[in-house]
A = this chain, B = another copy of it.
Amino acid sequence: MNHRDPKHPQIGQDDQDETSFLRHYDPGAFERPSVTVDTALISAVDGALWTLLVRRRQHPYRDGWALPGGFVDVTESLDEAAERLLANKAGVQGLFLEQLYTFGRPDRDPRTRVITVAYYALVDRIRFAGIGTGDSDDESERMVARLQVDWKGEAGGAVAALDPEGNPLELAFDHADILGMVVLRLRGKLDYTPIGFELLPRQFTLHQLRSVYETVAGRPQNKDSFRRRMLTSGLLRATGIRQQDVGHRPAELYEFQQLSEDEVSSAND
């Protein structure tokens, strides 16, 4: 924070007194980047990951598709900005929402320097279906898009987005990179945190849970050991309720439940 760059004279070395410093501060007097928040709202449907995109109505990338986002208000935290923008643009609140990474290539926006703090949010496919068909507060056009993850041996990199018919969409800015990092993050956290449950409704079968894991991980999960792992993890609570009208033996429904350490150890009897 000690900086002598003449472009930033207001926060310099020579101020002797705090109140005097604050009195002389002029926030508009030197060049600053803009800061935005962009959020990838992710769901898992039909064995693929999906996200919500907003049609751009101005340059650059006019008529292209972007992650819902916007400027950070000077009075709100980054988390609050992400919450607010997701509520405005997607009409959802209270989702799992976590900061992903900050993208700041100087040329990522041709207008001016824009640094974006990327977030991702997770939602179950039932709520996601409602979001995809609703309207934004600002009436901007929305679309759900399927993520096309074709990484070779070495994982990582940009991820394309396809419309429901399978046609590629033009993604604005570096949003394909953001989506790629979302997939990497999800895969990395899948086995060590309960993010899989955030993609499912409150009650679900073990089969549905495994399907979500396979969708996120991008590879099949062994059926037997997956069942064992989940049942002994202490993260599930059996409801005693079973599926209805499935044409085969109905599976039991489970709920996500974070147990205490005591309960975990006694659950392993």
Q: Which residues of A contact B (CB under 8 A)?
A: 1-5, 7-8, 11-15, 17-18, 21-22, 25, 27-36, 38, 54, 56-60, 62, 66, 69-78, 89, 99, 101-102, 104-106, 110-113, 115, 117, 138, 140, 153, 172-173, 188, 192, 261
| CB-based contact B58/A115 at 8 Å | no
A69 to B60, CA, bound (A): 32
| Candidates B2, B62, B78, B140; contact of A138 at CB < 8 Å | B2
| CB-based contact A2/B57 at 8 Å | yes
A38 to B115, CA, bound (A): 16
Asked whether A75 and B106 contact (CB < 8 A) given A3-B70, A138-B2, the answer is yes
Copies in the complex: 2
| Candidates B13, B33, B34; contact of A58 at CB < 8 Å | B13
Residues from chain B with a CB closer than 8 A to the CB of A77 are: 104-106
| CB-based contact A11/B34 at 8 Å | yes
CB distance from A258 to the nearest CB of B (A): 12
